[in-house]
Amino acid sequence: MSRCRTGLLKASNILRSGNSFVGRQQWRTKVLSVENMNPHVKNMEYAVRGPIVIRAGEIEQELAKGVKKPFNEVIRANIGDCHATGQTPITFLRQVVAICTDPDKLMNDPSYPSDAKDRARRILDGCSGQSIGSYSDSAGVRVIREDIASYIAERDGHPCDANDIFLSTGASDSIKTIMKLLMTGESGTDRAGIMIPIPQYPLYTATIAEYNAYPIGYYLDESNTWALNIPELKRSINEARDKCKPRGIVIINPGNPTGQVLPRENIEQIIKFAKEENLFLMADEVYQHNIYAEGSAFHSFKKVLMEMGPEYNNMELASFMSTSKGYMGECGFRGGYCEVINLDPDVKMMQIKSISAKLCSSVSGQAVMDVVVNPPKPGEPSYDLFEKEKNFVLGQLKEKARMVTEVFNSIDGISCNVVQGAMYAFPNIKLPKKAIEAAKAAGQKPDAFYCYQLLENTGICVVPGSGFGQKEGTYHFRTTILPPLEKLQVMLDKFKVFHEEFLQKYK
């Protein structure tokens, strides 16, 4: 029989058998399906890159193709990505990283200042082969960890051991590393419980879902500038005891998405609560440079804990920092660190083993972090320009924090606490009953419905409060304060017109 006829017979058999091979041959099915994949991954949600943001991307593509909209551009106010909204990089920081990347050419370039070359040389001398293209130790380049320890010691006035520090791919990676250590059983009261603020940054709920832990939400007090009340902490942990084993408490200070800055007295109360309940403290302090409101100040949890005396000095605490926020805004380098104090020595060995499995974080990101903790000093060639650029960024953010607070509070049906720090406002919106009913008919949560309408009518992309958590019956959205002042003013003007028309439509 010819090859051609054989092929035709096989094809005929396939067709007659309903598109499957006869005999022992069968169509191969996918190993993974939505039904059989890891259920904990399916439970994860991450609002700041969720469906509204996906729709914003689609609209940008439509605009590029010439589709007519009632606006010319999408204003992305959904995520704290400073450079994406136009912030100019800090010169000294980029100079050091550039020299680290191409030392043969730039180390002898007279246009680069000597202090930038000194920083780069120190970093490269700490790298294998004097190259940031080599792996570092799992915990990070030793000299960078030493510089971080010096920074923390100077900030807090208390000693810091470089052996307590590990560098990570942004703060997010180190947060997940510590949270993983706290996990226990799979179900019931053996399941690890982690206390998280509501509203909270969605990384925490996403990670808790991924690790099959139990979220113990405690509500921040919106009526009191998003304060953290101890009675509320006690309520939330007591209600969770029959569902999990409480293991740790997360505090975001300055706050994301709420923009509050905790006073020292409040931090002391939280530390006392954690000691009473035997909880591991996790202090997310990535916005420590972002303080704007009069009378607000950043107090690190470590500093306060150390100054509370011997009764508290041995408590376990992990604090997190990032290159992505502050005045730097270097999100893409993915630099971060974690300081963990008072770990049991055997647990510390397990922590080192855990991060070793990932080899190391980005060494270029580590270099950026080194510049953050070891900036130009008075008298060095780059000091004046560095201070000018840093103060300009923080000054602009302070002005924008004031602007968004005032504008939102001037609009009927919206109230907004003072943006004391961080990079966000979290306004409360009073939605008419008809709008809530329209949202239900559309199969959406009311604040998501509002944010979709805002995007489709103005091009402004913000994140609904339901993505961060909020008290039942209240509605919010989170917006960054990052766009340049002129664009932020345009955004707020467009927002005000939209909101008034929205109220009129659904009154």
pLDDT-derived band at 318 (thresholds 50, 70, 90) equals very high
Residues in CB range of 474: below 8 A, 6 or more apart: 222, 428, 465
pLDDT-derived band at 163 (thresholds 50, 70, 90) equals very high
Residues facing 145 on adjacent strands: none
| Domains annotated on the chain, with CATH | 3-42 (no CATH), 47-86+386-506 (3.90.1150.10), 135-373 (3.40.640.10)
Residue 217 in this model has a pLDDT that exceeds 90: yes
| Chain centroid to CA 185 | 27
Least Cα distance to 482 among 48, 46, 143 occurs for: 48
Task: List the structure tokens of 424.
Answer: 């966000």
Residues in CB range of 265: below 8 A, 6 or more apart: none
Q: Are 425 and 492 in contact (CB under 8 A)?
A: no
Residue 48 in this model has a pLDDT that exceeds 60: no
* Average pLDDT over every residue of 27-39: 63
Residues 343-382 pLDDT 10s:
988 888 888 888 877 788 888 899 999 999 999 999 999 9
pLDDT at residue 45, rounded to an integer: 58
Least Cα distance to 246 among 305, 190, 200, 301 occurs for: 190
Least confident of 126-140, 145-159, 429-443: 126-140
* Average pLDDT over every residue of 471-481: 92
pLDDT-derived band at 25 (thresholds 50, 70, 90) equals low
Alpha-carbon dihedral angle through residues 456, 460, 462, 466, given to the nearest 10 degrees: -30
Residue 60 in this model has a pLDDT that exceeds 90: no
Task: Specify the pTM.
Answer: 0.85
pLDDT at residue 27, rounded to an integer: 59
